[in-house]
Structure formats: C-alpha cells, structure tokens
Structure 1
Amino acid sequence: MGRLIDKAEDVAGVLLHSHSDRVAVTVDRVARSLKRKVDADVLALQMNKNLERNLPDEPMRFTGADMKKFALLSRACKSRPGLTKEQAGELQRNQAEADAELGDGVPE
C-alpha cells in the first residue's frame, strides 16, 4: 500500500505542483534519503537517470557532492528561507545594473 501511495503522490506532484514545489519536494527527499543512509552517489545516479528522461539534451550531471549540497540547502531553510524574495530581487537588480554598465546584458 505504501508504494501505491508514493506513486499517487508522484502523479499528483506532476499534475498539481509548481516548479518551486517540485524543487522543494526533491531537495527534501534527497535530504531525508541521506539521513536514512542512502549513499549520495546512488541518489545522484537516480537523479541523472531521471534527468535523462526529463531533459535528454541537458549536458550537466549530478554528483554525490551535489546531493550533499541539497541536504545543506534543506537544513539552511529549516526555519526560514535561505534567501528571501527581497534579497534575491535586490541581488538580481544589482547584477542587472552591473551588466548594463558593462554592456553585457542580462542572460536568459
């Protein structure tokens, strides 16, 4: 029954969750898996298999070190955002201004 519920949650996630929701859920799953002693390289391998299916032309691949960084991100956001909307907006505006001054433009 547990696997059926997990599958239903995955299907619901595809249909109902926003991109931000899917990112948060994935980071949380990685962090919980590492806490339960799933090897970081095994998680990276699974994420890469999913990446091949979801974005076949993506040249970058996940590593075990990336999985550990996801767990760090999860811990950093335990009680509040690791980066607030206001902070992100200010940093992005500052970067856009710097790019405009250099004539680099803003990347897509």
Structure 2
Amino acid sequence: MGNARKTDARFGQQSAVARTTVSLYPSSMRTLARLTVSAVLAFSASLMVAALFLPVYGIFEGGSHNCLTGGIGECTSMILMSALIYGPLFSLICTPISTPVFMVILAGRN
C-alpha cells in the first residue's frame, strides 16, 4: 500500500510538471511570433526612413537636389538613390533599436 502512494505521488508530480510545460509552450511561441513580426516591422520602417531621408533633407537644405523645384520625377529618383545609399546604415542602426519598441507596442495590444 505504501508503494502505491509513492507511485501516485510521483505520477501527480509528473503530471503537474507536464501541465506547466504545456502551458508555457503557447506563451513562448507567442513571444517568438511577436519578436519576428517586430523585427520585420523595424526593418521595413528603417528602409522607409532611409528612402525618405534625401528628399526630406533636400527640402530643408535647399540645395541642388530639392524635391520642390525638381518635380516628382526627381523626387522618385532621389528616393531610390537614398534607399540604396542610406538603407544599410539605417537598417543596421534602427532595426535593433526599434524592434523592442515594436514588441512593446504589440504586447500592449493584448
């Protein structure tokens, strides 16, 4: 009779551990999904900021590359050039900084 109680007690402990592991699994997957979505959003946002850097800078600087005097055609060519030149720099700097920000925003929605 004593061995039966020990076996039941061990079985109860194992099932409690199994329930804990099962309940933690969806939470960690949700966190991984948030991290992935946040990293993609941060990378996309950094590329958009990099693409718009030269046109906006040209408006405030007033130099030869100005969207207001050059028209839409010049502005679109500057967006492409700005994304190619500043894209890697902005991606390397802004993605690690803005990923936690997007994670906080996404976690706050729940």
Length-normalised TM-score, structure 2? 0.25
Structure with the higher fraction of residues in helix conformation: 2
The structure with the larger Rg is 2
